[in-house]
Structures are given as structure tokens and as C-alpha cells.
Amino acid sequence: MKKRRVYYRIFLSFTLALAVFFAGMEWITVRQQETLKQEVSAKAISKSMLIPGGMPIGIYMETDGVIVLGTEKIKGMDGQNHEPSKHLLKAGDYITGMNGSEIKTKKELIKEVEQMDGKEVILKIRRDGEALNVKTEAVESSPGKYQLGIWVRDSAQGLGTVTFLTGDSHFGALGHGIHDTATNTLLEISDGKLYETSIQNIQKGKKGSPGGIEGVIVYNNYHILGRIDKNTDAGIYGTVDNIDKLFQELTPIPAAPKEEIQEGDATIRCAVEGEVKDYKIRITKIDCNPKELNKGIVLEVTDERLLELTGGIIQGMSGSPIIQNGKLVGAVTHVFVQDASKGYGIFIENMLNNV
């Protein structure tokens, strides 16, 4: 434990030294900075030191407003079916207010509807980043009871893998964003937390079925590991509050730019056997300009232990660090549905852009 803490203090000192160094460079003009930016980008990332992860985490996120999943028909007191929100609200909209009251949760929305004393409703929504007011009429389904005819959600839960920790306790995980399952849109979040989790079962991947990790997550304050600040296409990001509970090894390694990655042998780090271990893979393709941000690396699992246990890559392994030549080069993000032994990864530099 003492040895790990010494490494971590050295790591923190290194980070502070870099901060002081760059603070002293303010005399460089903006034009000079722009000229140098491309020249030094690869060198800068090669000097970044990160503590690799591989541990499973429980994820809980609250949406920024109440997300609309869809609309439905309501039978009114007149005996007719009505769909009051059709063409006015659409899947992926976020309800942030109703009749002048702020709405943050599904519970608050239900309470406002229950307290209605008339049919007219003005909903404040956010659609594609734009704030709008939508006027509609609720349906009176029984005496004094009104309904809007919408399906909504205000949170998301799941399990994933931590990719790295920085010297100032910031983490990156998953390597891909968390999308709403009904709307397939990237969730806009107001808050989120990391929780301890324990793996209970492994569903082996096979052709047509990606398999997955089944874990137990206890959502209480005692098991909170950190906080989630961002949900992006390149993963989730935030800070770790309880480092010793999550990281057993605190030895940092360099991060490598995509130009240093080579086709050939590498390893991924994950805890599918109950503890963090390295497993052999082969990087088969590198696309420096992928159509999708988190699919720049194509990989194949070659480790017989991992193939026997999981079939290759399974759900819950997203975020598993990819290490080559002693450097952190990326993270596992997707599995090939028709071949669980193969999958995609994201460049670590794309993840670091969010820290």
C-alpha cells in the first residue's frame, strides 16, 4: 500500500510540474501557439502518464430533464381515444418545465399533472439543444384525472469498465457514450455516480448474441466511488473520490498517440475472472480517421483463457484498457455481433480530449 501511495504522489508531483511549466509559457503569442499545435500534439500525448483501469463499475445517471420516449392514446371520458402529445412531442425531447414549474424528475412531472385543474398545458422542452414552449391539452380520463399520453424516463443504470485515472483523480470509462435504449440518442445528464459492483455471472458471447457481464450494484452512499460529469460519444468522465476502493495498482504508464500504435500483439485489461488481469489480443487494423469516433482500432482476442470464458468481447467490457509496448493506446468499445472474438476500440487520445 505504501509503495502504491509513493507512486501516486510522484505521479501527482509530475502533473503539478507540468502545470507550472505550461503556466510559464504565457508569453508565446496566439499565432505561435497555433503554428506549434499540430507539431507537438503527438509528443505531448506521449508524455501523458495514466493509471490504467480494467475494473468493473456500476453506473447511475440522472437525465437533464425528463426524456420523452414516445406518445400513446388515452381514452377520454367521452369514450373516444385521444393522443394529445402526438406531433407536438417526439422521442428524445427533454421536458424541463410545465405551466411555469421547473421539472427535473419523472416524479415532479407526475405530481404537476396530478395537481392540474384544467386541460391546458404549456410544456417547456429542450429539443436538439434548443428551448421550446409546447402548448397542448391533457385528456380527462376520469373525473378530475388528466393524462398527457407520453412515456418518459429520468435515469439510466448499467455496468462498464474504467479505462484510466489521471494524476488529479479524473477518470475515463467505457470509450463510448450511454444512449437511451428507446430513442437511441446520447443521454444528456445532470448528474451521475460510480458505484462498487461485483461480477456474479458471465454470459458467453456467440454468433448473433454479444453476451454480457452480470453484476450486483448496491445504490447507496457507502458504495459510491466517484461522480460522473460528462456523457460523450467517447465515454463517460468524472472524478474518483475513493481511489483505494477502485484501484489496487497505482503505477502509471505513458499514453501513446495513434501514430505509435502498430498492427500486431497487444493486451486488454479487465476483471471478468473476478480480479484485474491482462489478456492477449491482436490489433488487426488502425484507422486514423474513422467514420465513428470510437471505432479507430479493430482487434481480435487471441487469449485462450478469455475465449473460453467469454467467447471474446462481451457487454460490460467496454472501457477495458488496450496496452501495447508498455503504453496505454486505447479502450475496447464494441463487439462484432457475428463474431464475439473481434471488436473495435477507441484511441486513448480521443478519450483524453474529454478530460
For residue range 164-174, what is the model confidence (pLDDT) as tens digits? Answer: 999 899 999 99
Average confidence (pLDDT) over 23-30: 34
Residues 268 and 177 in one domain: yes
pLDDT number for residue 50: 95
* CATH number of the structural domain spanning residue 89: 2.30.42.10
Nearest to 311 by CA among 303, 322, 320: 303
* Same domain as 213, residue 169: yes
Mean pLDDT along residues 305-327: 96
Mean pLDDT, range 274-301, rounded to an integer: 96
Question: Residue 100 and residue 123: Cα distance in Å, rounded?
Answer: 8
Residue 68 lies in a domain: no
Q: How many domains does the chain have?
A: 2
Asked if 266 contacts 327 with a C-beta cutoff of 8 angstroms, the reply is: no
In whole angstroms, give the CA distance from residue 270 to residue 322: 10
Same domain? 191 vs 313: yes
Evaluate whether residue 292 is within a structural domain. yes
Q: Which residues contact 282 (CB under 8 A, 6 or more apart)?
A: 263, 264, 265, 266, 299, 300, 302
Backbone phi, then psi, for 260, in 5-degree steps?
-90, -15
Q: Evaluate whether residue 95 is within a structural domain.
A: yes
Q: What is the extent of the structural domain holding 114?
A: 73-148
Residue after which a domain boundary falls, among 148, 171, 202: 148
Confidence band of 218 (pLDDT split at 50, 70, 90):
confident
Residue 66 belongs to a domain: no
Say if CB 170 and CB 237 are below 8 A apart: yes
For residues 155-167, average pLDDT = 94
Torsion of CA 20, 25, 27, 32, to 10 degrees: -160
**How many Cβ atoms are within 10 Å of 126's Cβ, its own excluded?**
18
268 CB contacts (<8 Å, ≥6 apart)?
278, 279, 281, 299, 301, 317, 320, 321, 322, 323, 332
Residue 233 has pLDDT above 50, yes or no: yes
User: Residue 219: inside a domain, yes or no?
Assistant: yes
Q: Are strands 235-240 and 189-195 parallel, antiparallel or unpaired?
A: unpaired
Whether 303 sits among the annotated catalytic residues: the reply is yes
Task: Tell whether 17 and 127 lie within a shared domain.
Answer: no
Mean pLDDT throughout 34-51? 55
Mean pLDDT calculated for residue range 44-48: 57
Evaluate whether residue 269 is within a structural domain.
Answer: yes
Q: Are residues 165 and 28 in the same domain?
A: yes
For 1-8, what is the mean pLDDT? 48
Which pLDDT band, with edges at 50, 70 and 90, does 15 fall under?
A: very low
User: 90-104, 137-151, 255-269, 303-317: lowest mean pLDDT where?
Assistant: 137-151
Mean pLDDT of 16-44: 38
Residue 106 has pLDDT above 70, yes or no: yes
Domain boundary among 148, 178, 211: 148
79-88, 170-179, 193-202, 245-254, range with greatest mean pLDDT: 170-179
Joined grid coordinates for residue 351? 478519450
Residue 67 lies in a domain: no
Of 4-8, 28-32, 130-134, 213-217, where does mean pLDDT reach its minimum?
A: 28-32
Instruction: Read off the amino acid at residue 216.
Output: V
User: Does residue 200 share a domain with residue 144?
Assistant: no
Same domain (yes/no): 144, 161: no
Interacting residues of 329 by C-beta distance below 8 A, sequence separation 6+: 255, 256, 258, 260, 261, 266, 297, 322, 323, 347, 348
Average pLDDT, the chain: 86
**Is 87 considered catalytic here?**
no
Q: Retrieve residue 56's grid coordinates.
A: 468493473
Q: Which of the following is catalytic: 48, 85, 170, 318?
A: 318
Domain boundary among 148, 168, 192: 148
Is a pLDDT exceeding 70 seen at residue 45?
no
Alpha-carbon distance of 63 to 126, in angstroms, equals 12
- Please say if 176 is a catalytic residue: yes
Q: What is the CATH number of the domain that holds 177?
A: 2.40.10.10
pLDDT the model gives residue 30:
37
CB 188 within 8 A of CB 92: no
- The pLDDT assigned to 140 comes to 87
Q: Which residue has the cell 488529479?
A: 168
Are residue 84 and residue 55 in the same domain, yes or no?
A: no
pLDDT digit string (tens) for 289-298? 999 999 999 9
Same domain, 245 and 325: yes
Following DSSP, what letter does each residue of 160-171 receive, concatenated? Answer: EEEEEE-TTSEE
132 or 5: whose pLDDT is higher?
132
- Residue 304 grid coordinates: 485462450
Q: By C-alpha distance, which of 255, 230, 225, 240 is closest to 177? A: 230
> What is the average pLDDT across 5-9?
47
Q: Are residues 105 and 243 in the same domain?
A: no
**Helix (H, G, I), strand (E, B), or coil: what is residue 113?**
helix
CA angle 229, 232, 237 (to 5 degrees): 35
Q: Would 17 be classed as within a structural domain?
A: yes
Stated as kind and residue range, the H or E segment containing 244 is: helix 243-246
Out of 197-201, 233-237, 337-341, which region has the weakest mean confidence (pLDDT)? 197-201
135 shares a domain with 247: no
**Phi-psi category of 211—alpha, beta or left, where left has phi over 0 and alpha has psi -120 to 50?**
left
Indicate whether 347 and 241 sit together in one domain. yes
Burial of 144 (0-12, 13-18, 19+ CB in 10 A): exposed
Percent of the chain having pLDDT more than 70? Answer: 87
User: What is residue 241's predicted lDDT score, i.e. its pLDDT?
Assistant: 93
Mean pLDDT computed over 183-188: 92
* Cβ partners under 8 Å of residue 288, min gap 6: 258, 259, 296
- The catalytically annotated residue of 85, 154, 303, 334 is 303
Q: Out of 21-30, 32-41, 80-89, 338-347, which region has the weakest mean confidence (pLDDT)?
A: 21-30
Return the percentage of the chain with pLDDT > 90, whole number. Answer: 67
> Does 234 or 244 have the greater pLDDT score?
234
Q: Which residue among 176, 180, 320, 341 is the active-site one? A: 176
> In this predicted structure, what is the pLDDT of residue 182?
85
